[in-house]
Structure 1
């Protein structure tokens, strides 16, 4: 991989290997989220947000997440196993509203660059990210352990933090 490729390539120009390397591995995308929509009768997946609506993050994570490593235990087949799993691609990058402000894809898409704790800036290691508190490690509960009917009891504000 070209050193610091993200500084001279757009996300759309990146190779598959470069694209995958941009993921900081924080696992915030694995958090259950919902949109506060007073008019909705039931919870349903969505690929858009309407003006005036707000995304709420919970500390509930997908059962496939290894919360210590902050990685999916079935990454290659996650979309088939979890139909609501959102796979971020170059094609749906414009709909990045559902990713937290600290997401490296979102940061680059918005022209903010990678944060100092990103693994690409730390010899490929996630330790700086964990130390900075930017991952889900130690902050979550598995969806298998909670009643998802009461997801509002698990709303979390920490996913919105972006320290630089």
Structure 2
């Protein structure tokens, strides 16, 4: 089979087995942050609010195997979804490989160090709050370079 001697993370996603697919995850935890969708525009806004199962010290799911039992809407990422979900972070290994891009130098498969993602500042460690403590998601939207919409309050008389 052509390319079989290449590291699996450089091969097309369709050629990966389940274990190889799972091993692509860089452990950043960004996909476990809640998103808010603008009802009018459909735009997805990221927040810094993490799923209750995300361990904020390691950026790993505390019960990955049973996560859908506790979080029924937890997404099962597939190669097709990796290529189509616009909200996946630009640094996501699944997204990069779906776009036929190389993994970043800090990815553990490249450098051999699972903590490199955190030292590179590419994970949610030290940047997220658990949904258990956060309160309303709207208070945690990451507006990026855009200013939040200002809402003028009108007191009813």
Q: How many residues align?
A: 141
Partner residue, 2:76: 87
Contact 2:83 2:95 survives alignment (8 Å): no
Q: Kindly indicate whether the alpha-carbon contact (under 8 Å) linking 1:65 and 1:73 is maintained by their aligned counterparts in 2.
A: yes
1:122 — aligned with what? 111
Q: TM-score, normalised by structure 2?
A: 0.81
- CA contact under 8 A between 2:108 and 2:114: conserved in structure 1? yes
Partner SS, residue 92 of structure 1: helix
Please state how far the C-alpha of 1:65 moved relative to its aligned partner: 0.8
The one of 65, 74, 81 aligned to 2:54: 65
Return the match for 2:141 from 137, 140, 155: 155
User: How far apart, in 1, do the equivalents of 2:33 and 2:64 lie?
Assistant: 15
Which of the residues 116, 138, 143 maps onto 2:131?
143
CA distance in 1, matches of 2:119, 2:46: 21
- Unpaired runs of at least 5, structure 1: 39-51, 159-164
Aligned partner of 2:29 among 24, 27, 30: 27
- Give the RMSD, CA atoms, in angstroms: 2.0
| Structure 1 moving runs of 4+ over 4 Å | none
Gaps of 5+ in 2: 145-157
1:5 alignment partner in structure 2: 8
Q: With structure 1 as the length reference, what TM-score do the two structures score? A: 0.78
